[in-house]
């Protein structure tokens, strides 16, 4: 069993930055694929970025050039650096882990990820 705990959300003005963190309860980052999803109010959960066990990354078109997914294997931690934030980035953000080692990773589908964090809220005001 793996537990994921996100942190780093908050309220910022448009153009600002936030860095989300997701700590895994045991050493997982070297062997599994991971992702960030988000769910705006009243909408479905969508994939934001993925990182495979080798460090290869993929992004949604809406965040390319603004968000960066990364991981620190020694700290069992996944990150999402979010720059140039826009009001449309407002959502609950979730990290997720996929134990199946298969590909492709993009686009990420919620049913492919079997471990989820509790979410951290990001609110961007104009």
Confidence grade of residue 73 (pLDDT, cut at 50, 70, 90): confident
Mean pLDDT across the chain: 93
What confidence score (pLDDT) does residue 83 get? 98
The more confident residue out of 50 and 101 is 50
Confidence grade of residue 30 (pLDDT, cut at 50, 70, 90): low
What confidence score (pLDDT) does residue 51 get? 94
| Whole-number Å distance between alpha carbons of 3 and 27 | 11
């Amino acid at each position: 069993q793996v537990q994921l705990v996100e942190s780093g959300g908050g309220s910022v003005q448009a153009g600002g930055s936030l860095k989300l963190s997701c700590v895994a309860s045991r050493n997982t980052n070297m062997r599994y694929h991971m992702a960030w999803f988000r769910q705006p109010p009243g909408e479905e959960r969508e994939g934001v970025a993925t990182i495979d066990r080798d460090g290869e990354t993929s992004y949604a078109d809406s965040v390319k050039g603004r968000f960066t997914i990364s991981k620190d294997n020694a700290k069992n931690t996944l990150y999402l650096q979010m720059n140039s934030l826009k009001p449309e980035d407002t959502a609950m953000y979730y990290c997720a882990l996929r134990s199946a080692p298969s590909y492709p990773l993009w686009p990420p589908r919620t049913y492919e990820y079997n471990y989820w964090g509790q979410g951290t809220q990001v609110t961007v005001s104009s």
